[in-house]
Amino acid sequence: MISKPIAVVTGGAGFIGSHMVDLLLAEGHRVHVIDSLVGGRLENLHHHKGNPDLVVEVRDIRDLAANDPLFAGASHVIHFGGIGDIVPSIEHPVDYLSTNVMGTVKVLECARHAQIKKFVYAASSSCYGLAAVPTREDAPIACEHPYALSKYLGEEAVLHWSRAYKLPVNCIRIFNAYGTRSKTSGAYGAVFGVFLAQKLAGKPFTVVGDGTQRRDFLYVTDVARAFYLAAMTDKVNHIWNLGAGNPQPVNRLVELLGGPVIHLPKRPGEPDCTWADITKITRDLGWKQLVPFEQGVANLLANIEYWRQAPVWDQASIAQATKTWFAFLGGEKK
């Protein structure tokens, strides 16, 4: 009997990582998860309880030794582990550089010593800053805040390990992923979590600016499928942009969710539109979007109870939470 291939997923109890675990198990892999639970939740993997093909370890990627047994015999490493959100990165840049850069280096060393077949890195489109749209992979790099810098430097480390150590790698720059199991706690951040908690509490949606700004929203299972294809392809040393290639106005999201709105001041350093040019990933991997925006939002509404314990943000608490953002990106003294 042929043994199942082993895939390691860092951040595998998190938003995208847990959907990656679902897909890998469905495709016949054994999956080893490492997650510090800073952003992830073991609840995201509970539906796999008792599955002998899943191993979950709660640890910090920065504590990994190069010969860590979790990586022994692995054929693939898919690296989502790290910390997100813009405002905390401005306030705690050392934590972000430590986790997202040196944590990535620790994972790379484990992958190198395990002689894996493919390492796929979850990069971020934030590296482009206020980019021209649609944004291609060769667009100028312009990191606007420490989170963007940390993710970009992590990507640079991945590509360096490929050059220096011949580690087979691919990188995917994610634009605006959304879907079930997105983060419910911590810093003020992604629009979906904010809006879903507000809807459950019967509060108005806090729309930044006039709501005409567009985001290249892509449903999480489509994101996971792209990473799977990037792991299984023979192609190496590629960077791909990943979005739907069809940006949606925030007002359209509000319309689909249904509810009253209040408007907040527009924030400095935020693009009016994020829009991935997906020509390359479509051509190279045969990837395509399968979940339309309307269907994705319907899936979220069907699972809205997940956000019941999430903080409910209002005008005053958002103003307080984003004070650093305005100071840092608005041109005031740092």
Q: Positive or negative, the Cα torsion across 58, 63, 64, 65? A: negative
Question: To 5 degrees, how large is the angle CA 54–CA 71–CA 59?
Answer: 70
Give the C-alpha separation, 20 to 23, whole Å: 5
Residues 208/315, Cβ–Cβ less than 8 Å? no
Give the C-alpha separation, 142 to 43, whole Å: 36
Q: Is 167 helix (H, G, I), strand (E, B) or coil?
A: coil
Give the C-alpha separation, 95 to 84, whole Å: 11
Question: To 5 degrees, how large is the angle CA 240–CA 244–CA 248?
Answer: 135
> In 10 A of CB 265, how many CB atoms?
12
Residues 223/16, Cβ–Cβ less than 8 Å? yes
SS3 content of the chain, % helix, strand, coil (to 5): 45, 20, 40
Active-site annotation holder among 96, 121, 128, 147: 147
Residues 90/324, Cβ–Cβ less than 8 Å? yes
Q: How far is CA 11 from CA 35, 83, 148, 195, in A?
A: 5, 9, 18, 24
Give the C-alpha separation, 86 to 90, whole Å: 7
Helices (H) and strands (E) in the chain, counts: 12, 13
Helix (H) or strand (E) holding 217: strand 217-219
Looking up tokens 């943000």 gives 313
Give the C-alpha separation, 152 to 154, whole Å: 5
**219 is annotated as an active-site residue:** no
Over its C-alpha atoms, the chain yields an Rg (Å, rounded) of 19
Could you give the residue numbers annotated as active site? Answer: 147
